[in-house]
Amino acid sequence: MSEDSLLGHALVRLDEAATHLNIDPDVIEKLKYARETTQVRLMIRMDDGSRKSFLAWRCRYDDTRGPTKGGIRFHPEATVDEVETLAFWMTFKCAVMNLPYGGGKGAVQVDPRKLSKAELERLSRAYIQAFARIIGPDRDIPAPDVYTNSMIMGWMADEYAQIVGQAEPAVITGKPIALGGSLGRGDATARGGYYLVRHLAEDLGLGKTLRVAIQGFGNAGQHVARLLAADGHKIVAVSDSEGAVRSEAGLHVDMLLDAKNGGHSVITTAGQGGHEILPAGDLVGVDCDLLVPAALENMVDAKNAASVKAKLVLELANGPVTAEADEILAKKGVVILPDILANAGGVTVSYFEWVQNRQGYYWTEEEIHDRLRKIMEREGRAIWNVSITKGVTVRTAAYVHALGRLAEAIEAHGTQSFFTS
């Protein structure tokens, strides 16, 4: 594995966390490599009658603490390195939240925006046909990710049921409610981050009214904007894949949501309600109290980290801040609530969905929110305390917190199962 790979950079966090714990070197060696990565080519019939192939992957990184868990993304720039890195992060994210899961991830190298609905369904079903022996409610449990949603998860769950000959709703989470999905799953990633910021606000020295910049206005970005605005915070800038808008007086969140729900970019609101165009690359440096990266990996790097003016960064995306940027921000006194904690609300409510599917009893949305809040506050407080006690960043504290649980589970299996379990 190259040190310049995405996974190589991610493993720097593992090595750093290990210096703060008395860990068997065999544990670290086990966690440096994916347990199982499968690559296939999906061949589907296009609407014009032609056939087209798409590269696809599923990675089960580590299953020491339980079946692997992780989303499936459809993205034209997906790679195996990205998939394994995301699965590594999921391994630690599930351990951070004390969920009985390991980490997994999947992807298809495709731009779903260029497919018709029928082509998208055929691709989704082809993915399950290819990986039906990999996944399973007790082995590997997919969920939505970038450019996938509950509709796609519904197709996938249906295809799996046809293959195994019976309904298995617990095989996939993030499904439509009609197919066994959980209430509260839609905004879970954002809501978890929102609960975390609210719980630690006093410790972080935050004021009652925050100025917020959000990079990425997909599911997580939209929901966190709505939740924060409802609390009286001011959303001063947002961006999506086509550009960005800002307003020092505060953007009209309802206007932004209407634009996105209508299939338009946030930049279409420019010139209305005081919204003005902002170069997308400038959003990281907007004058604000809270910066929320909610797009893709490596959005804050060595080139733009020095421009960050926020006091706090809430990582709703996976891996949005590079290791080099981490160091720059730490020297500036910027606190980062890391992805493996900050965006773990999604996998936590996915866990709730899996539990509900298996017991055949479903909770109210209020119960879901309350359970999520309690877990986010419990693990957030524990990690904050590790950060203060050890004098390390919150990111390092989160990895220390998770690594302790992973090491305990790996060692409990016995040394003979380190590389065979």
- Could you report the per-residue pLDDT of 58-88, keeping only the tens digit for each? 999 999 999 999 999 999 999 999 999 999 9
**CATH code for the domain defined by 36-179:** 3.40.50.10860
Residue 417's pLDDT is what?
54
Contact between 65 and 102 (Cβ < 8 Å): yes
Domain ranges of the chain: 36-179, 188-342
Confidence of residue 421 (pLDDT cuts 50, 70, 90): very low
Confidence of residue 242 (pLDDT cuts 50, 70, 90): confident
Catalytic residue annotation: 105
Task: HSE, CB side, 13 Å, CA atoms: give it for residue 99.
Answer: 33
DSSP strand pairing (36-45 vs 51-62): antiparallel
Domains 36-179 and 188-342 share a fold: yes
Q: What is the pLDDT of residues 188-202, one digit of tens each?
A: 999 999 999 999 999
Residue 339's pLDDT is what?
94
pLDDT at 2 over 60: no
Confidence of residue 364 (pLDDT cuts 50, 70, 90): very high
pLDDT at 105 over 90: yes
The per-residue pLDDT of the chain, averaged, comes to: 93
Residue 403 CA to residue 421 CA, distance in Å, equals: 18
Q: What is the pLDDT of residues 146-162, one digit of tens each?
A: 899 999 999 999 999 99
Total-model pTM: 0.91
pLDDT at 418 over 70: no
Residue 295's pLDDT is what?
86
Task: HSE, CB side, 13 Å, CA atoms: give it for residue 395.
Answer: 28
Residue 1's pLDDT is what?
54
Confidence of residue 3 (pLDDT cuts 50, 70, 90): low
Residue 234's pLDDT is what?
95
Q: What is the pLDDT of residues 162-195, one digit of tens each?
A: 999 999 999 999 999 999 999 999 899 999 999 9
User: Please, what CATH class does the domain formed by 188-342 belong to?
Assistant: alpha beta
364-393: average pLDDT: 97
Among 198-202, 287-291, 295-299, 356-360, the least confident range? 295-299
372-398: average pLDDT: 96
How many Å separate Cα 313 from the centre of its chain? 15
The 3-state secondary structure of the chain reads CCCCCHHHHHHHHHHHHHCCCCCCHHHHHHHCCCCEEEEEEEEEECCCCCEEEEEEEEEEEECCCCCEEEEEEEECCCCHHHHHHHHHHHHHHHHHCCCCCEEEEEEEECCHHHCCHHHHHHHHHHHHHHHCCCCECCCEEEEECCCCCHHHHHHHHHHHHHHHCCCCHHHCCCCCHHHCCCCCCCCHHHHHHHHHHHHHHHHHCCCCCCEEEEECCCHHHHHHHHHHHHCCCEEEEEEECCEEEECCCCCCHHHHHHHHHCCCCHHHHCCCCCCEEECHHHHHHCCCCEEEECCCCCCECCCCHHHCCCCEEECCCCCCECHHHHHHHHHCCCEEECHHHHCCHHHHHHHHHHHHHHHCCCCCHHHHHHHHHHHHHHHHHHHHHHHHHHCCCHHHHHHHHHHHHHHHHHHHHCHHHCCCC
1 contacts: CB under 8 Å, gap ≥ 6? 7, 8, 11, 32, 33
Residue 343's pLDDT is what?
95
Classify residue 298 as left (phi > 0), alpha (psi -120 to 50) or beta.
Answer: left
Confidence of residue 415 (pLDDT cuts 50, 70, 90): low
Classify residue 47 as left (phi > 0), alpha (psi -120 to 50) or beta.
Answer: alpha
